[in-house]
Amino acid sequence: MHFTLTMPDWADEELRNLPASLPTVEDRMAAVIRFSRLNIEHDTGGPFDAGVFERDSGKPLMIGVNRVMAHQISSAHAEIMTLSLAQQMLGTYDLGGPSLPAYQFVVNWRPCAMCFGATLWSGIRSLVIAGSGPELEQITGFDEGPVHPEWKAELAKRGIELIEDVLKDEAMAVYRQFADSHAFIYNARLGNAT
C-alpha cells in the first residue's frame, strides 16, 4: 500500500524559473502568493501555498500548493506538501538538523490546526505569514480549526521566529478572487439546473 502526492505540472515549471535568491521576506511571500493565484487559476487546488527558503541567503528550496481536491486526500494542505517535498529533497525529516542552514517557512496565512503541528515537527527555524486574523475564514468560508490559543508562545518555546502581516492585502486579494470564482461556478451550475 502507498499513496503519492504530486505537484501540478505548471508548478514544476514555475519552480525552475524562480530566481536563485529572494532576498526579503516580501520577495518570498510574493512568490508564494503568486503560486496561490496560479493554483486557483489552473484549477489545481485551493488558494493556499507555502514555501521553504534558506533564511539567510533567500535561496528557494520548495514552494508547494494545496492538493486536497486533486488527490481527494484531506491532509494534502500546502504546508504538508511543501515540508514533505523539502524534506525529501534534503533526505532528512528535520529541516533544523545540525549540518543544515536555517530554513524559513513562508505561508500565505496562519497554518490551520493540523499544519501548525506539522510546522512544529518540521524543524523550520522561522515562520513568515501574511496574516492570522478571521479574514481568511470570512472571505473563503474555509474552517481553520482549533489552532492552539497560545500558538505564538508555542512557536517561541521551540525557537521558531514569527514574522507576521507580510503582504496581507495581496494574500487577501487572492482569497477574494477564489471566493468570486466559486460564486461564479455555483451560479453556472444553478444556471444548468434551471
Q: Could you list the residues that contact a second copy (CB under 8 A)?
A: 1-7, 11-12, 15, 62, 64, 68-69, 71-76, 80, 83-85, 87-88, 91-94, 112-118, 120-123, 145-151, 154
Smallest separation, CB 85 to a second copy (Å): 6
| Nine-digit cell string for 52 | 521553504
Within 13 A of 137's CA, how many CA atoms are on the CB side? 10
Report residue 31 as a C-alpha cell: 512568490
Nearer to a second copy, 22 or 62 (CB): 62
> Which DSSP category does 40 fall into?
H
Query: Among residues 154 and 170, whose Cβ is nearest to a second copy?
Result: 154
Q: How far is the CB of 145 from a second copy (least distance, A)?
A: 5
Q: Which is nearer to a second copy, 71 or 170 (CB)?
A: 71
Smallest distance, a second copy to C-beta of residue 173, A:
26
Q: Which is nearer to a second copy, 24 or 88 (CB)?
A: 88
Cα 134 to the center of its chain, rounded Å: 17
Torsion of CA 187, 188, 192, 194, to 10 degrees: 20
The CB-of-88 to a second copy minimum distance in angstroms stands at 5
Asked whether the beta carbons of 171 and 106 are under 8 A apart, the reply is no
Decide: 131 and 109 in contact? Cβ < 8 Å: yes
